[in-house]
Amino acid sequence: MTDDPTTALRATRLGRRFRGGWALRDCDFALPAGRITALVGPNGAGKSTLFHLATGLLRPTSGDLRVFGAEPGSQAARDRTAFLAQDKPLYPRFTVDETLRFGRELNGDWDHASAERIVRAGNIPLDARVGALSPGQATRVALALAFGKRPDLLLLDEPLADLDPLVRIEAMGLVMAEVADRGTTVVMSSHVLSELENACDHVLLLKQGAVRLDGDTQRLCDTHVRVTGLADPATDDGLPPDVDRATVVEAAVTGRQVHALLRHSDWSPAEPWIVENPSLEDLLLAYLRSDQPAEAAGAAA
Amino acid sequence: MIAFRIDRRSGVATYLQLAHQVRQALRLGVLEPGDRLPTAKEVVEAIAVNPNTVLRAYRELEREGLVEPRPGQGTFVRRSLAQPAAAADSPLRAEAAAWVGRARAAGLEREDVAALAASVLDDAFPLPDPPPPFIPAQKQKPEHTHTQEEDT
């Protein structure tokens, strides 16, 4: 179980506490290798903490996290992992060429040709100073640096923030091409849910430091239903009494109408109800909005 | 070669949009038998979707007998969908235009005509079976862009 090749990132009762409290607590998940996982959650949900734990920049307070079976920060894990932090740290005084050569010095298995190709494809002169690049060009150089490392696991913390729409597609296209080429496992956080919909095939949703949703995106959409119909005035949430309340992710009454998202429900309403599978964005929004406590995690805090 | 585009608001699954665009290109003669489809890498670099979405679209087209993967070379068009009988100057089109004209003269709105035509089409062309479930490849090694092992 420690070295399962189909799991890229495995957390077992993972927790990390800061002075202000628990950033992550009792998290269990196994992110599949060769897939593109969307890491979703409100600000402060623990997304960046998770990235820092996965790269060994932070140590867990409790529990355990493994990268392809190895301890984050160990040589074995570092060789296989590339991390692009939110602020894309590059040395502004270096030229692009110096930045790439720096990458070659720091990494044993370095693919200089690929890194240079990515930079050239963006029409970025190799002798330009990094500090003088546009945000889009800097992202491209940062991605070139990450891909040159030939990682098996690529961690991207808000890679598209502060980029214009054209550059966003270009940057995401670069990541997808790398996945198509090398089967790289990607874990990517973003607040722009619509952009994740076409790119990601797995989702990990964190809220208040706990895992709220973890699974294959298609499966999640298939096992949830969006129902809309006439509200039942006799119940608090407007849903008929025969709906198993444990399956209700969210329910909202507007006038005479009730609109709800149900999970794994065997409740199949008759004709006047509209029943449809949610889009990924719809599903994630419902979980982000819903306030039901994640198991009993809040009780002990 | 064709360029794909994605309508993110259409509500139609992305892989179906891609497959539809290939069929459209085959109907228009933009793609002909023997042409190579763009590789998954080329497609995803341009439109930023998950590579498995492209592979799924190509598998769907393969299932329909329209394309075939050739190991190590890519995915190639097997047959055309160009129908001379459906061309802009064909008698069939003239008949359809005359029928739409009569429907309009009878007071039907565009949506009424579309619904009527759709119901006739449904009678004449029953819906095919849904495609088998798609299992994304668990790719461990690079290369083989167009073949996939089933994960078990």
- Cβ–Cβ gap A197/B41 under 8 Å: no
- B139 inside 8 A of chain A by CB: yes
User: Model confidence at B148, in pLDDT bands (50, 70, 90)?
Assistant: very low
- Cβ–Cβ gap B48/A176 under 8 Å: yes
| Strands, E assignment, A220-294 | 224-230, 248-254, 257-263, 274-276
Q: What does the mean pLDDT of chain B come to?
A: 84
Please state, in angstroms and as integers, the Cα–Cα distance from residue B140 to each residue in A61, A68, B106, B131, following that order.
Answer: 32, 12, 62, 26
Q: Would the pLDDT of A299 be above 50?
A: no
Give the gap in angstroms from C-alpha B28 to the nearest C-alpha of chain A.
27
Give the gap in angstroms from C-alpha A26 to the nearest C-alpha of chain B.
28
- Cβ–Cβ gap B138/A198 under 8 Å: no
- Cβ–Cβ gap A199/B151 under 8 Å: no
Neighbouring residues of A249: CB distance < 8 A, sequence distance ≥ 6 = A224, A260, A261, A262, A263, A286, A287, A290, A292
Q: What angle do CA A100, A105, A111 make, to 5 degrees?
A: 55
- Cβ–Cβ gap B41/A177 under 8 Å: yes
Domain ranges of chain B: 84-124
Which residues of chain A lie closer than 8 angstroms to B11, CB-CB?
279
A93 in Cβ contact with A129 (< 8 Å): yes
Q: Would the pLDDT of A296 be above 60?
A: no
pLDDT: is A178 or A267 the higher one? A178
In DSSP notation, A82-101 reads EEE-TT----TTSBHHHHHH
Average pLDDT of span A219-235: 91
A181 in Cβ contact with B36 (< 8 Å): no
In this prediction, residue A91 carries a pLDDT of: 87
- Cβ–Cβ gap B53/A181 under 8 Å: no
- A180 inside 8 A of chain B by CB: yes
Residue A154 has phi, psi (to 5 degrees) of -115, 120
A63 in Cβ contact with A93 (< 8 Å): no
* Chain A to chain B Cβ contacts (< 8 Å): 67
Average pLDDT of span A42-53: 92
Average pLDDT of span B118-145: 69
- A172 inside 8 A of chain B by CB: yes
- B131 inside 8 A of chain A by CB: no
Lowest-confidence region among A23-27, A81-85, A186-190, B1-5: B1-5
How large is the ipTM?
Answer: 0.79
- B137 inside 8 A of chain A by CB: yes
User: Model confidence at A193, in pLDDT bands (50, 70, 90)?
Assistant: confident
Architecture of the domain defined by A7-217: 3-Layer(aba) Sandwich (3.40)
Q: Would the pLDDT of A3 be above 80?
A: no
Which residues of chain A lie closer than 8 angstroms to B136, CB-CB?
35, 201
- Cβ–Cβ gap A279/B48 under 8 Å: no
pLDDT single digits (tens) B52-110: 999 999 999 999 999 999 998 999 999 888 877 766 777 888 899 999 999 999 999 99
* Helix pair angle (B14-28, B51-63), 10° resolution: 50
User: Model confidence at B142, in pLDDT bands (50, 70, 90)?
Assistant: very low
Please state, in angstroms and as integers, the Cα–Cα distance from residue A53 to each residue in A34, A87, A169, B66, B100, following that order.
Answer: 20, 17, 28, 48, 65
Which parts of chain B fold into alpha helices (H)?
14-28, 40-47, 51-63, 91-105, 110-124
Pairing of strands A224-230, A257-263: antiparallel
- Cβ–Cβ gap B41/A279 under 8 Å: no
- Compute the 3-state secondary structure of chain A and give helix, strand, coil in percent, each to the nearest 5: 35, 30, 35
A168 in Cβ contact with A140 (< 8 Å): no
- Cβ–Cβ gap B44/A183 under 8 Å: no
User: Model confidence at B149, in pLDDT bands (50, 70, 90)?
Assistant: very low
- A30 inside 8 A of chain B by CB: no
A83: tokens are: 């991390």
User: Model confidence at A269, in pLDDT bands (50, 70, 90)?
Assistant: confident
Domain ranges of chain A: 7-217, 223-300
Average pLDDT of span A279-285: 92
Give the gap in angstroms from C-alpha A152 to the nearest C-alpha of chain B.
9
Return the residue of B nearest to A37 by Cα: B50
Q: What does the mean pLDDT of chain A come to?
A: 88
